[in-house]
Structure 1
Amino acid sequence: MAKNKLEYSPVQCTNRLSATEDALYVLGGRWTIRVMISILGGHTRFNEVQRAVKGISAKMLSSELKKLEVNHLVERTVFADQTPVIVEYLPTAYSQSLKDIITALAQWGEKHKTKITTNN
């Protein structure tokens, strides 16, 4: 019989579960990946991100941005010399490590949607 499934030893399974739980703790919220995609896509100001991420409230966006900042995925930059004060949220070098994950997730989502909508 061909092996079509991923097989992990018990230790590998425990390690994978733990690492996945850590990742989901940071990225698992309803809005987190969407906000990160927006920022990686060049939307840097609060209102730009809010317009790009349809349906997110200002309060939730503020919370998500703080969480991303704490996790070193975005950097908050304040330009106090401007009137009005400008605040930008820029992706960090570390956030670039998410690009492959986001790309893989998007590709899987496209394939899954096709599979479900074509009844294959």
Structure 2
Amino acid sequence: MMLITMPDAYGFLNLRLIDTRGDSLGFLRLPYLIFNAVEAVCWLAVSLVILWRFLRHRKSRREIYYALAFLAFGLSDVIETSGTTALLLLFKGACLLAIAGFRPGIMALHGSRGF
């Protein structure tokens, strides 16, 4: 049986799965950076729309947390432009779980099946 010590686990979480600082992506580096930047802007825009809707209707504070989950997901895409680590992937997964968890309640508040 192999035990993982704390330094090993920390090293694994900070292991760079994708490194955009060097030439490891080759010709895909620029499209990767552009895609992540555009994706970040889109998620941040969604966050602002949700926050704007909350400020107009003030139906539930859950909308603030929903907007913050999208904001965090967008910021994770900004971080991803410098590279992807296991810890970043875990953070992105937590953001997605938060978004998925809040979505049904938010949609029910507004009587909507879409955004």
TM-score w.r.t. structure 2 length? 0.30
Asked which structure has the greater RCO (Cα within 8 Å, sep 6+), the reply is: 2
**Structure (1/2) with the larger helix percentage:** 2
TM-score w.r.t. structure 1 length? 0.30
**Structure (1/2) with the larger strand percentage:** 1
